[in-house]
Structure formats: structure tokens, C-alpha cells
Amino acid sequence: MKFHHVGIAVEDIETSLTDIKKQYSVSEVSEIVWDNNQKAFLCMVTMEDGFKMELISGEPAKPWIKRGQHLYHVCYEVNDIYAEVEKKCQSTGSILVSEPKEAILFSNKKVAFIRTALGLIELVEE
């Protein structure tokens, strides 16, 4: 399991991109995509040092924004998403929030969301 990105809940991706570009050295920005499985607009921003930030807007982001909590999740890349989900849920008592499903932002690789004692994590299959 290795760190992949942080997910940030935003009201408007375009506005957030403008702000991010003013504050950080951005090397790459993906196109903004609609992910029907996630019911959200998504965009991946890569900084010059390789750090990645996924911007999420739409219905899933609204409750986070309303609470003033923009850090949505931390994502880790895993070899076998099903094995990792089982391991996390059995060994730590974490709760599977979203079964593994394809994610358009990651070229249809499978992703899953798990609620842990420390917050929401996303797993993306290599």
C-alpha cells in the first residue's frame, strides 16, 4: 500500500484550480470529468514535487463543505483491492462505504472507500 493522493471537497473546481495555481507550483492538471459511479465532478492536480490532489465537487462533497471540512479522503494505491478491503475491515473494524467500482479519473481502475477511525480512505487498485 503506498500513498497516492489527498481528496479535497470543493464547491467549484474551476474556481479552486485558479486559487491553487496562485498558491502552488502546479505541473499538471487533468481534465474535469463527471464520474457517474461517484456522482461527482473530479479533477487531479499534480504539484511540481509529485504530490497529487484530487478535487471533488457535487453532491458527495456538499456535506463536507457545509461542515467546513475540505479534506475529504486520503488515497492509497494497492495491488489487490478486494484483499485490502477485507484486511482493513476485518483487522481494524473499519466500515466499507463504497464497494470497489471503476473510476473514470483513474482510467477505470477500481476504487473503494472505507471509513476508518481516522477518517475516510480511498483505495485505488494498481
Give me the residues of the chain with pLDDT under 70, please. Answer: none
CA 91 – CA 60 distance, rounded (Å): 27
pLDDT tens column, 66-95: 999 999 999 999 999 999 999 988 888 899
Question: Are β-strands 26-29 and 109-116 bridged in parallel, bridged antiparallel, or unpaired?
Answer: unpaired
User: Counting runs of H as helices and runs of E as strands, what totals does the chain give?
Assistant: 3, 9
What is the set of domains in the chain, with CATH numbers?
2-125 (3.10.180.10)
Contact assessment for residue 39 and residue 107, using Cβ atoms and an 8 Å cutoff? no
Alpha helices in the chain, H assignment, sequence order: 13-23, 62-66, 81-92
Q: Residue 122 is which amino acid?
A: E
